[in-house]
Structure 1
Amino acid sequence: MSGSIDDGTLGGVRPRRTPLDRDQIVGFWAAWAGWLLDGMDSVIYALVLIPALTELLPRSGIEATPANTGYIGSILFALFLVGWGLSFVWGPIGDRFGRTRTLAATVLIYSVFTGAAALSQNVYELALFRFLAGIGIGGEWAMAGTYVAEAWPEDRRKMGAGYLQSGYYFGFFAAAALNATVGAVYGWRAMFLCGLFPVVVSVVTLFKVKEPERWEALHEAGAKRVSPLLQIFGPQYRTRTLVMSTLLTVAIIGLWAGSVYEPAAAITLAKGAGYAPAEAVRFASYGTAILSLGTVLGCLVVPMMAERLGRRATLALFFSGMLVFVALSFGWAFYLPPERALPTFLTLLFFLGFSGANFALFSLWLPELFGTDVRATAFAFCTSVGRFIGAGVNFALGAAVHGMGTLGTPVAWTAVAFGFGLLVIPFAAETRGQPLPR
């Protein structure tokens, strides 16, 4: 029996999976590398937030107090999320002009403007560059996820989604390593300059990776096209679009609050434990590495759980983990006595990261809910629209951090979003055992 079952066994013998051809392998690694560098770019900001704002706030006429740093940092991140939210425009482009060309364009945009952030002379310039980088970053996930789902054979695409999502969190490792080496020696501007490297991936993607056969066949058929944005809100897809957008909004609110504020929390706790500022910055890198390790392992587990338990049950388990560990990390461990707070917080980060692998499930699940003619648009819309709400939450978080004079409690309250998400999951369509729609 060959290539028909993804993870099961027959008579104690694991069926042979469909082999990948050269184009599928090259295409996957191009998408994975782009997603890795995307994750690296996203975390660079969180890691350099304090040193960058310490320098740029006085140049902008704002005192660099801890409260102002937290407040302005939240505003800048909210603007970044607005840019990410606008990235839904890449979906119709990908459905019209192809997955790989659009993927290359997204990587080019986010790498150029990440590098430009190194030239910022005040917080306003930094905000503009991060906003523009966000537009590119948001599109990369949609294009990479759509490409892998369509290019890989049916019996392998589910694990492919988990492997792909792990790239984003390997990017966290890369950012942490750069922060502990390049950032510690050369400063925050050098960190942003490292973000220019994805330009290479963009060029390789454009010239070396073929379009998936599914998209090529549809494109060559030359069928009359209706706006894919209108289609995903038509009778066939409306409920799926709204439900998945809601669930992704929940994931965005909770995970981003935790991952973005983790470095600042680690630095705060390290200083409270008596470590020098330079050593405290290294603890931010350690925390990011621990968070990433947990998430990478979770990404590898998600496809197997989704096949055995179903998509809805798997998401419910991971959302429950996020609810518990966001609350414990920021609402409890953050306020322990100094000698206990830092090690306890770092330990909980592993479980917070593992639960955050729920994003890998969306990479697997979203392509199964929409046809080829609208798949990129639906993926981009569902993964982007929640960023606007996430931006609003970050504005509120920034105000709460500023008003309360503490970081832990406001972030801990974002765990409530996962409770709401658990109530929405039953309305999602279960697709376990179903092939990718044509």
Structure 2
Amino acid sequence: MSGVAPDTPETDTGPWYRGVTRYQWLVLAIACAGWVFDVYEGQIFNLTRNDLLGDLLENPEAGRQFWGDAFLAIFLAGGTIGGLLFGSLADRYGRSPIMIVTILMYSLFSGLTYFANDIYTVGVLRFLVALGIGGEWAVAASLVSEVFPKRARAQASGIFHASSILGTWLAALAAMLVGVHWRYAYLLGVLPALLIVWVRASVKEPERWRAQKNSEHANQLGSFNTLLLDPRWGSVAIRGMLLAAVGLGTFWAVTVAGQDLMRELLLSNGVDEDTAGSRAKFAYGIVQAAGGGLGLLSFGPLCAKFGRKPTFIAFQALALLIVPITCFVPQTYWQLIVLMPIFGFLTLGMHSGFAIYFPELFPTRIRATGASFCFNGGRLMAVPVLLLSGWLKNLDTISLPTAVTVLSSLFIVGILIMLTLPETRQRDLIED
């Protein structure tokens, strides 16, 4: 089976999954599997970096913060470049072959990290891993949106992005399992290479893309000129990128800080450093991640019911409220552990919206290009936020809770951007 035809008139009665075919579920499962390992590759560094940098740096205490932030910046830059490159190639040459290339890239270079013996080799490998990760998201998000019918698109795309939480859990479990032996966690990153066989055997090009390949617009497939210079798409692409920059910037500056907030609280309560580190990993990687996963899963149904714009705005407005509460109210481990799932739900949930919303903003001939420009361009735009975050959190005059609360003000920017973007809830995918 080659996918679904462009949307046809359909009723909205019954559950969203009624009528979804076996092939459509298969595509969703493959896209989710690829995204799970995408997220694993990103999170495993966040969870193992202290041990990695401790082994590879001559003076770990002096260089740990600098190299930790530098590697995150390298990862964001690699994701941007890979997303733009492979998103365009997916529009030109098809979803399936480019998905295979991107999965192979991040699997291979993650596994090679096992053999790295210096900090510069790790930096190069993290950049190459990020190239594949950035590209895979754009291809998978476009593929899901094109294969599923309109009535099921928001929920399916939301499930696709929400599967990221499995990647976070997998990374947390791997980090706790390997302990200080961080190399084995990267060796596990070779496993998604097995997905290539599944993708090659199962995924066919969507009929939407094949129609564009044979149309008068074939010369515009994957064209950045069409994306950025056509007034219908250029302005939307820029605003979408800024929206993603807010989401990704607050993820690295605010959401990820849950681990540090818990660690700092435990240390202030007299818990020893090793125990505090282990319990903070569990609190962030399992408990907070569970709340984040529920937020990601909830975003799709809420988008389908209330619209894309109201859902984005509501999540960001509520995130503005939960961040200072989480930062300043808890005084004990259990008080903070209760708040962390809510914190994760509201600060992370909007990320599902990127997989739902961005492919709906652009026509088929530049869908992966446009979605990738928004999401992965947002990665690059988030780098200054990451650097600002590192600077604020290291100031002696500002506490970590204060720094995280200040950084959460970026959600206000996200609300303002969302007010200028179109609503796509009742709209078919654009073909012209």
TM-score by length of 1: 0.88
- Conserved? CA contact 2:218–2:365, under 8 Å: no
- Conserved? CA contact 2:37–2:192, under 8 Å: yes
Per-residue Cα deviation, 1:330-387 (whole angstroms, up to 9, x for no partner): 4x25xx6xxx253343333212221211011121111221111110000010001121
Offset of residue 224 of structure 1: 4.1
- Conserved? CA contact 1:36–1:167, under 8 Å: yes
- Equivalent positions of 1:214-225 (< 5 A) are 214-221=208-215, 223-225=217-219
Offset of residue 300 of structure 1: 2.2
Say whether residues 1:237 and 2:233 are aligned partners.
yes
Offset of residue 211 of structure 1: 1.5
Distance in 2 (CA, whole Å) between partners of 1:280 and 1:209 is 45
Q: Give the match for residue 391 of structure 1.
A: 383
* Cα distance change, pair 321–112 in 1 and its aligned pair in 2 (3 A): farther
* Cα distance change, pair 265–197 in 1 and its aligned pair in 2 (3 A): farther
Distance in 2 (CA, whole Å) between partners of 1:321 and 1:113 is 39
Distance in 2 (CA, whole Å) between partners of 1:163 and 1:307 is 13
Q: Give the match for residue 393 of structure 2.
A: 401
- Structure 2: which amino acid aligns with 1:393? V
- Structure 1: which amino acid aligns with 2:10? S
Distance in 1 (CA, whole Å) between partners of 2:132 and 2:401 is 30
Say whether residues 1:37 and 2:37 are aligned partners.
yes
Distance in 2 (CA, whole Å) between partners of 1:220 and 1:275 is 65
Q: Give the match for residue 343 of structure 2.
A: 352
* Cα distance change, pair 50–32 in 1 and its aligned pair in 2 (3 A): same
Q: Give the match for residue 258 of structure 2.
A: 262
**Count of paired positions:** 418
- Conserved? CA contact 1:71–1:401, under 8 Å: no
Q: Out of 154, 160, 164, which is 2:156 matched to?
A: 160
Distance in 1 (CA, whole Å) between partners of 2:80 and 2:386 is 14
Q: Out of 344, 360, 368, which is 1:368 matched to?
A: 360
Distance in 2 (CA, whole Å) between partners of 1:313 and 1:386 is 21
3-state secondary structure, aligned to 1:72:
helix
Offset of residue 278 of structure 1: 4.2
* Cα distance change, pair 263–197 in 1 and its aligned pair in 2 (3 A): farther
Q: Give the match for residue 53 of structure 2.
A: 53
Q: Out of 285, 289, 294, which is 1:288 matched to?
A: 285
Say whether residues 1:410 and 2:410 are aligned partners.
no
* Cα distance change, pair 235–219 in 1 and its aligned pair in 2 (3 A): same
Q: Give the match for residue 106 of structure 1.
A: 102
- Equivalent positions of 1:180-329 (< 5 A) are 180-181=176-177, 183-184=178-179, 187-221=181-215, 223-226=217-220, 228-233=223-228, 234-283=230-279, 284-329=281-326
- Conserved? CA contact 1:74–1:397, under 8 Å: no
Offset of residue 307 of structure 1: 2.4
Say whether residues 1:176 and 2:172 are aligned partners.
yes
Distance in 1 (CA, whole Å) between partners of 2:244 and 2:55 is 35
Distance in 2 (CA, whole Å) between partners of 1:328 and 1:51 is 31
Offset of residue 203 of structure 1: 3.1
Per-residue Cα deviation, 1:163-213 (whole angstroms, up to 9, x for no partner): 1111111111111122222x23x6211111111111111332133211212
- Structure 2: which amino acid aligns with 1:187? H
3-state secondary structure, aligned to 2:150:
coil
3-state secondary structure, aligned to 1:432:
coil
Offset of residue 17 of structure 1: 5.0
- Conserved? CA contact 1:40–1:175, under 8 Å: yes
Offset of residue 222 of structure 1: 6.5
- Conserved? CA contact 1:295–1:357, under 8 Å: yes
Q: Give the match for residue 434 of structure 1.
A: 427
Offset of residue 277 of structure 1: 4.3
- Structure 2: which amino acid aligns with 1:205? V
Q: Give the match for residue 75 of structure 2.
A: 80
Unaligned ranges ≥5, structure 2: 1-7
- Conserved? CA contact 2:113–2:125, under 8 Å: yes
TM-score by length of 2: 0.89
Distance in 2 (CA, whole Å) between partners of 1:146 and 1:297 is 23
Q: Give the match for residue 4 of structure 1.
A: 10
- Conserved? CA contact 1:98–1:211, under 8 Å: yes
Distance in 1 (CA, whole Å) between partners of 2:200 and 2:428 is 28
- Structure 2: which amino acid aligns with 1:324? L
- Conserved? CA contact 1:254–1:326, under 8 Å: no
Distance in 2 (CA, whole Å) between partners of 1:389 and 1:155 is 33
Give identity over the alignment, percent: 27
Offset of residue 23 of structure 1: 2.6
* Cα distance change, pair 194–273 in 1 and its aligned pair in 2 (3 A): farther
- Structure 2: which amino acid aligns with 1:115? G
Say whether residues 1:422 and 2:428 are aligned partners.
no
- Structure 2: which amino acid aligns with 1:434? R
